[in-house]
């Protein structure tokens, strides 16, 4: 039992070491690859960048990256982040809200998110954060295919 735990611990440590070594070689916004830009928005004195592998949101389940950078392009840890895709009521369609679930990455200020968009079209992305960089809030429009 004890042996097993130790072996797992070593494996994990090795994996993390490899991941750190690989990550440090690429990426201009730290060690986490952010993909192609979908949209940027100014929040206070920071820039929030929403990105993914294609640079385009789509209908359904998907992963996105959200990063916060200062004027020099350096990632800034903003603490707790929320992003909600909102679509107002239209005709027979009720208002929709699809929230992104975020996890932090090895780069403070860069967050990985998962969201399931109900359908394509124009969404209002409601972004907020609260933490070491203060409070910030903005809304920007983004189109999903």
Q: Which residues of this chain interact with Cu ion, rule CB under 5 A? A: 87, 96
Minimum CB separation from Cu ion for residue 7, in Å?
49
Minimum CB separation from Cu ion for residue 96, in Å?
4
Which sign does the torsion angle of CA 30, 73, 115, 36 carry? negative
The number of angstroms, rounded, from the C-alpha of 4 to the middle of its chain's C-alpha atoms is 35
Minimum CB separation from Cu ion for residue 121, in Å?
6
Residue nearest Cu ion, Cβ-based: 87
31-40: burial string, b at 16+ Cβ within 10 Å, e else: bbebeeebee
Specify the residue, 73 or 91, whose C-beta has the smaller distance to Cu ion: 91
The encoded tokens of residue 77 equal 């840890």
Specify the residue, 89 or 103, whose C-beta has the smaller distance to Cu ion: 89
Residues 6+ apart with CB under 8 A from 101: 113, 114, 115
| Cβ proximity of 111 and 85 under 8 Å | no
Minimum CB separation from Cu ion for residue 97, in Å?
10
Specify the residue, 96 or 99, whose C-beta has the smaller distance to Cu ion: 96
- For 67, other C-beta atoms within 10 Å of its C-beta total 24
Specify the residue, 87 or 133, whose C-beta has the smaller distance to Cu ion: 87
């Amino acid at each position: 039992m004890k042996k097993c735990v130790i072996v797992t611990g070593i494996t994990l440590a090795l994996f993390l070491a490899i991941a750190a070594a690989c990550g440090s070689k690429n990426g201009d916004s730290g060690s986490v690859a952010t993909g192609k830009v979908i949209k940027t928005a100014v929040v206070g004195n920071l820039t929030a960048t929403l990105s993914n592998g294609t640079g385009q949101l789509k209908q359904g389940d998907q992963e996105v990256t959200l990063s916060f950078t200062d004027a020099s392009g350096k990632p800034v840890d903003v603490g707790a982040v929320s992003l909600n895709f909102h679509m107002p009521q239209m005709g027979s369609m009720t208002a929709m809200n699809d929230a992104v679930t975020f996890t932090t990455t090895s780069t403070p200020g860069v967050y990985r998110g998962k969201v399931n968009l109900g359908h394509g079209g124009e969404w209002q992305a409601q972004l907020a954060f609260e933490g070491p960089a203060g409070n910030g809030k903005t809304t920007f429009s983004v189109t999903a295919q």
